[in-house]
Amino acid sequence: MNTFLPFTRPSIDEDTIADVVAVLRSGWITSGPKVQALEQALNTYLGGHRLVRTMTSATGGLEMALRAFGVGVGDEVVVPAMSFAASANVVIRTGATPVFVDVDLRSRNATADALSAAITPRTRVLMPVHFSGLACDMDAINTLAQAQGLRVLEDAAHAIGTRHQGRLIGSFGDMVSFSFHANKNMTTVEGGALVFADSSLTLAIDRERFHGISKDAAGNIDVTSAGGKYNLTDVAAAVGIGQLRGLDAFNRTRRALAQHYFMRLSPHLEPDQLPTPGDDGHSWHMFAILLPWAKLGFSRDTFVQKMKEQHIGIGIHYPCIPGLSYYRQLGFDPAAYPNAQRIGAETVTLPLFPAMTTMDVDRVCDALLALIQPQKGIV
């Protein structure tokens, strides 16, 4: 019997495990020298000229960044309709309003033109999302933002190690939020990082990260705002340092596996059912395809169950945000975003992680094609 193949799994080596044990034995397990070392390592990885702050999640980072930008009641933030719900939830939590835009069907990314059409006098921030590790056209988006006097907050939860025009995402631009959740290309178990260049934002981010506290030279504290608590632990940072060492190798493997998926599936699926192939800058956080369930004659739930019976895990990334109950209650209509609505209804995420082999990809494709080939000519 085949062992179960999940849709993702982290790769954590023995050196990293030993580093975690050393932190636990040190007696200093919360934010301390390892957090500082991880932040410095990330800065070095991104070219050495950025400001880096780690935190407990990319979601927290997005909210911290919006608050540092001064976003609040009466403001608008432009967000893709296809992303994880957190991209919009953080806007709501600041008191501002998300303004959704549709995405390109294959890249799942919002274009500069789509973002531009959504700008109103109340817009404060553009929030492009680098879906699945494929970079948005940041040259065009940053040019648009500069012309309109807007801030840019890149939701790069999928995009650590991604490159745009040869430059690492996070090595340039206004503000970038990375995720180090357990299913991401590198992990701190849970965690994230903000990367930015504007030093005037540092104090606001530092205070928001830890209770709004400031300290004088003698160590006396004051609280100057109702900050949150988002500080990363040294235990988590030790995992992150080890993961960062392997990141480029992880991403090379992901690219090779993605190319094998294309080789196997391209003869059987229409181009718009496959993601954009990308280039060597694509970090391939996920490999998600679209399947026309009504034409196939069975539901996505049935597909997921049938693949599970073959000991293969399938993810669903993501529902269209305006179609979620909370956003429907706010008056959003998913039909206004037809590409995002179709992606949300048809998407399935196939297994993709560095410990896989091309034989694992073949196993997934064989099982998938066995399910859809009885309907040959439909897909």
Token readout for 268 is 């059987």
Closest-CA residue to 155 (of 321, 27, 11): 321
Write the single-letter amino acid at 30. T
Indicate the burial class of 165 (C-beta count within 10 angstroms; 0-12, 13-18, 19 or more). Answer: exposed
Angstrom distance (rounded) from CA 208 to CA 191: 16
What's the DSSP call for residue 167?
A: E
Closest-CA residue to 254 (of 155, 130, 355, 362): 355
**Sign of the alpha-carbon torsion through 305, 85, 356, 362:** positive
Token readout for 165 is 């025009």
Pick left, alpha or beta for residue 233 (phi over 0 → left; psi -120 to 50 → alpha; otherwise beta): beta
Angstrom distance (rounded) from CA 133 to CA 286: 8
Q: Taking the CB of residue 185, how many other CB atoms lie within 10 A of it?
A: 28
Query: What are the residues whose beta carbons fall under 8 Å from the beta carbon of 376, sequence distance 6 or more?
Result: none
Task: Report the DSSP pairing between strands 287-290 and 347-350.
Answer: antiparallel
Catalytic residue among 184, 295, 308, 376: 184
Q: Is 184 a catalytic residue?
A: yes
Q: Which residues pair with 100 in a beta bridge?
A: 79
> Do residues 351 and 360 lie in contact, with contact meaning Cβ atoms separated by under 8 Å?
yes
Q: 3-state DSSP call for residue 90? A: helix
Angstrom distance (rounded) from CA 344 to CA 321: 9
Token readout for 136 is 């948005």
Angstrom distance (rounded) from CA 316 to CA 87: 17
Catalytic residue annotation: 184
